[in-house]
Amino acid sequence: MAKISKLIFYFIQSGFFFMIAGCANQMTPGGGDIDKTPPQIIESFPLNGTVNYDKNYFEIVFSEYVVKSSVQNSVFISPALEKPLEYDWSGKSLTVYFSDTLKKNTTYTISIGTDVQDINNSNKMAEAYTFAFSTGNKIDKGRISGRIYDQNSEGLMIFCYRESGKEIDPSNQKPDYISQSGKNGKYSLLGLGEGSYKVFPINDKQRNSKYQKNQDEFGVQFKDIVLDEKFNEAINVDFFLTKEDTIAPQISNVIMKNRNNFIVEFMDVIDSLSTGASNFYLYDSLSGKKILPGYFFKGDAKPLQYYLGFADSLDPGGNWILTSSGIPDPAANISGEEKNKITVKNERDTVSLKILRAEGELPAGKVDFEKAELNLRLNKGLDSVNLKRRLTIEDSKGEKFTYKIKRVDDAFYKISVVPALKQSTEYKLNLDLRNYTDYCGNRVDSLFQSKFTTSNELDFSGAAGDVSVLSDTSDVIVVLQNASDRKLKYSQKTGTKKNFDFKKVIPGKYIVWGFKDENRNNKYDQGQIIPFKLSEEFKYYPDTLNLRARWPVGGISLQFEK
């Protein structure tokens, strides 16, 4: 292993003594507290910024013993070398030899990624370690840095491409520069020359330095990145992650549960709001008989599963096929025609129609007193006409209230009470199914009642502030998002005054971010890789808000670059 005087002096002056017998095996120490300290690189050679470098290796020293294979899979060199590297270990020190001859007058960047693990407890490096050197008398000093905002932002590969006038395709083109995000999603790219760049954080699941469509999450920059002699650093190049979805929905399994109900399982999430019984039919290839389902609903089905409800029973001697088509997913992909053979069952469904839940979306199932909306979930399908005829909302005195119905599926309806209700008051939802027979032939003959309580204005919190945008006419939309439940969020357009004021916020911890709605479609646009399209600029407020009931927070400021 090549030795350099700087490293020798480092160890001597630090008072390290190597016991030859003790270095034969790397063993985990027994007892004591659990090791949670991530490994670090405490020394590297050559030094960052070295010029006229003519050696055929570089060296790094770790703070503790690390898993060798994790290091060797985390070494990235830009520009890339054709031949494989050679690794020579000595305790915590590693010398990496180049099999290629380095190009003259070229800046090379060495990045050790965050997948490096220690031996004691598999702790990973908190951030990538990067240094640069040049084989000539000048070194490129360009730098790009930023952060990826995602719940899984650690360990993402950072692909960086220098633009050459041709369209960049990360699915077929390995990056010119590469690094890896650390804890909190922060990243940095060093040793960049003058020019224009495109940067993509990629969740490179195959670890082949290429983007896999429909598999890898990715991010797209919100601004052009140009480095030159005067401006050689681009900071706050931040990203959200998204996933490209071009695969149409597919059915993975169909089970006939009983003679009236089928369970249809999909391979991925579908748009259930836009899917109904009309997307399916049964066909007997022997008799030519066709049967249409009456209901499509979630009920108590498992994730990715839905029920199809049929009033008609099937001839057990038939050759029955369930045909489906036109089913959309959230990315607007539409399924083609699919045919699934059915194994017929003749057992009756003897479970009668009933209410599973009727509650509001506020904590403890409360309902907003000003905009009262109930989620009504049934165990099986009920058409909206019968629901409207048999449902009433009333107070303790029996006074009835007008309401509107929105279908989510045939067993899930949103019930919106039209007038504002009283605060902290109990109300009652009645579903009168007396003299009603469900589609399975079960006579219900019951009056179901479900009580609910309205909220009080003292139950809520709030958040207010302003947005700073210079020389820009874009609309800015501010989002207040719950830190633990990302689906719980509030959004507000700031308008010409560029301020926001969220009222009636459910207490909890929240993050605040905003984006410039360039195309005014009221949603954040993630951008795209091919054809390349910039994402919309966004900014995060640095602190997490602890919003308590009756204690709104003000003075929040979001500052955009321009």
Domain range list for the chain: 41-243, 251-341, 355-458, 460-560
The structure's pTM equals 0.84
- The phi and psi torsions of 18 (rounded to 5 degrees) equal -95, 120
Answer yes or no: same fold for 355-458 and 460-560: yes
Task: Write out the CATH class of domain 41-243.
Answer: mainly beta
For residue 14, the model assigns a pLDDT of 40
Residue-by-residue pLDDT tens, the chain, 562 positions: 444 444 444 343 444 333 333 344 445 555 567 888 999 999 999 999 999 999 999 999 999 999 999 999 999 999 999 999 999 999 999 999 999 999 999 999 999 999 999 999 999 999 999 999 999 999 999 999 999 999 899 999 999 999 999 999 999 999 999 999 998 999 999 999 999 999 999 999 999 999 999 999 999 999 999 999 999 999 999 999 999 999 999 999 999 999 999 999 999 999 999 999 999 999 999 999 999 999 999 999 999 999 999 999 899 999 999 999 999 999 999 999 999 999 999 898 999 999 999 999 999 999 999 999 999 999 999 999 999 999 999 999 999 999 999 999 999 999 999 999 999 999 999 999 999 999 999 999 999 999 999 999 999 999 999 999 876 667 899 999 999 999 999 999 998 889 999 999 999 999 999 999 999 999 999 999 999 999 999 999 999 999 999 999 999 999 987 6
d(CA 155, CA 202): 10
CB atoms within 10 A of CB 215: 12
Q: What is the pLDDT of residue 29?
A: 53
Instruction: Please state which CATH number belongs to domain 460-560.
Output: 2.60.40.1120
pLDDT at residue 10, as a whole number: 39
Distance CA 374, CA 405 (A): 10
Query: In 3D, which of 423, 419, 510 has the Cα closest to residue 464?
Result: 510
Cβ-based burial of 160 (10 A; exposed 0-12, middle 13-18, buried ≥19): buried
pLDDT at residue 28, rounded to an integer = 52
**Cα–Cα distance, 253 to 154 (Å, whole number):** 35
**CATH class of this structure's domain 251-341:** mainly beta
Residue 497 has a pLDDT of 85
Helix (H) or strand (E) holding 408: strand 403-409
User: 355-458, what's its fold?
Assistant: Immunoglobulin-like (2.60.40)
